[in-house]
Structure 1
Amino acid sequence: MMANFKGHALPGSCFLLLGLCWSVMYPLRHCWRRHQPKARQKLPLFFNRIDLIEGTLMIFFAFVGIMAEQFVPDGPHAHLYNRETQSWVKLMNWQHSTMYLFFSIAGVVKVLTMSPLPVPLGLDRLALSLAFFIEGLLFYFHVHMRPPLDTHIHSMLFVPVFGGAAITLLEVFMRDNIVLELLRTSMTILQGSWFFQIGFVLYPLNGVQWDLQAHDNTMFITMCFCWHLAVALLIVGINYWMGWCCVQRCSGRGSDIEIMMRKTSSSKKALLEESDEE
């Protein structure tokens, strides 16, 4: 299915949505912790519910991706080998399904970490790192014997994919590190937007085909990749600033309420003392 624009838009939308959710959640959680005293560092139930929703969405999108790859009209329909022709059936679709399979495993592990089961700390990050690594491994052997621009634009994916795998693996040992979390978020947004870019180049909606042999197009695509990275970092930076402003405002209201309660309690205490004197 990925051999068309819709096939690239589906994983692109999944990674974009996941990255945008992370770009809101991680800054909010980090800024909230910074504004709390050390005795109140336990996260509210709200953040745990977001983690549960995140894992559930990963499982759902992975399931949709597998079904789309397998049961489109020209898909393999769960047949791996054709005994009559003695050949493999739609291995490209099977590769994409394998990619989605490992992200569904990462989603299941994420959900299990929210359950009462004794799941080891960091196992969710390890499963996600493995999913990124498998995705990069599959794409590495995905673009052989293709035109130069086709090969180059797909090879650009190795940067956010293997970069995301390495960053997520570091998070197994450096839990709740905001720098690593934001880097992973940037790589995921970059990966999502780049899937759309691949679709626009190889399957243009206006019908004007790119010259897949021209070196100038390869140079432009490399520069375009850098722009995608800049936009991803900008999105993460803006969402971090918005999260900081949101926590500042909420914490300011909380402190005002606390001051009012203290004033009320002190005034009540003074009235009681006056009544006792009378």
Structure 2
Amino acid sequence: MANFKGHALPGSFFLIFGLWWSVKYPLKYACKKNKKVFSIGSKAGFQRIEVIEGAVKAAFALIGILAEQFVPDGPHLKLYNHEEHQWDHLMNWQHSTMYLFYGISGVVDILTHTTKAVPLAMDRMMLSIAVFVEGFLFYYHVHGRAMLDIHVHILLLVSVFGGSICIFLEVFHRGNIILEMFRSSLCILQGSWFWQIGFVLYPPGGGPEWDLMDHGNMLFVTMCYCWHYAFALLIVAVNYGLATWFVQTKLKCAKPMEMELLKSQGQDSDDDI
């Protein structure tokens, strides 16, 4: 992860899931609120989506682990270098551990929604643990680094631990649209901020390097973090509005069809008489 691509990979992972959640949960809430069941809004339909989501999560985690372990300068599954008598590429191992817990979360999602052996709330519990482990690893990830390097990672921890707490609350308040949208916004923030960290620490294309000891850069980066979250909230709001509009449109289209069905049934009854 000590390069731009290494930050873009997890950033893309969280952006994809944050954007997906910002569409899925408003759509599910609108379907439930209007008591309307059609193909994508049925309980079975959303259950299949949860299984697919878990499989994608596990696949992304596996890709992340393989990328961390088998890059040209990676550890290649070697934890200790006996020749130099020191740990081998511990940063890569930390990142692999982070991906491992997200992979476990994906597997638990699949088991939760395909069998009755796992309690329903276990998927949220495992996801909360995975996000917490990510923050726990990153907290001890940047000790001894430059001031701005530490600061951008500490800002990342705000969204990480906030997301972990939010998901933990969902264990007891499953289906709460406020918690689900809050989680979505923090996930989008986390993904976009990973990309921002890549631009700050490893400018692509040979761009100008940031002064990692400049206090002014710290002030700007903090303000930039707030802009990122404002943008995440805007995305969540727009997707919520689009999902609600989509369900309402489907309802309006369904009502004339239902009226025609009732009329035809009434005509059949008159004919029978």
**Cα distance in 1 for residues equivalent to 2:139 and 2:115:** 38
In the other structure, the counterpart of 2:237 is 237
**Cα distance in 1 for residues equivalent to 2:6 and 2:123:** 27
Q: What's the CA shift for 1:45?
A: 2.3
1:43-71: CA deviations, max 9, x gaps? Answer: 43221121111100100000000000000
1:246-275: CA deviations, max 9, x gaps? Answer: 1001112222211110011112222333xx
In the other structure, the counterpart of 1:35 is 34
Aligned positions of 1:122-133 closer than 5 A: 122-133=121-132
Q: Any conservation in 1 of the 2:26–2:240 contact (CA below 8 Å)?
A: yes
Q: Any conservation in 1 of the 2:36–2:251 contact (CA below 8 Å)?
A: no
In the other structure, the counterpart of 2:265 is 265
Aligned positions of 1:2-81 closer than 5 A: 2-36=1-35, 43-81=42-80
**Cα distance in 1 for residues equivalent to 2:209 and 2:36:** 59
Aligned positions of 1:218-229 closer than 5 A: 218-229=218-229
Structure 1 unaligned blocks of 5 or more: 274-278
Residues 149 and 117 of structure 1, relative CA distance in 2, 3 Å threshold: same
Q: Any conservation in 1 of the 2:139–2:154 contact (CA below 8 Å)?
A: yes
Q: What's the CA shift for 1:37?
A: 7.2
In the other structure, the counterpart of 1:276 is none
1:187-217: CA deviations, max 9, x gaps? Answer: 1110000000000111112421011111110
Q: What's the RMSD between the two structures over aligned residues? A: 1.3
- Under a length normalisation based on structure 2, what TM-score does the superposition of the two structures give? 0.96
Between the aligned residues of both structures, percent identity stands at 54
Structure 2 unaligned blocks of 5 or more: none
Q: Any conservation in 1 of the 2:51–2:114 contact (CA below 8 Å)?
A: no
Aligned positions of 1:140-219 closer than 5 A: 140-205=139-204, 206-219=206-219
**Cα distance in 1 for residues equivalent to 2:49 and 2:21:** 10
Q: What's the CA shift for 1:121?
A: 2.1
**Cα distance in 1 for residues equivalent to 2:117 and 2:18:** 28
Amino acid at match of 1:14: F
- Under a length normalisation based on structure 1, what TM-score does the superposition of the two structures give? 0.94
Q: Name the stretch that deviates more: 262-271 or 102-111.
A: 262-271
Amino acid at match of 2:263: K
User: Quick check: which has more Rg, 1 or 2?
Assistant: 1
SS at match of 1:157: helix
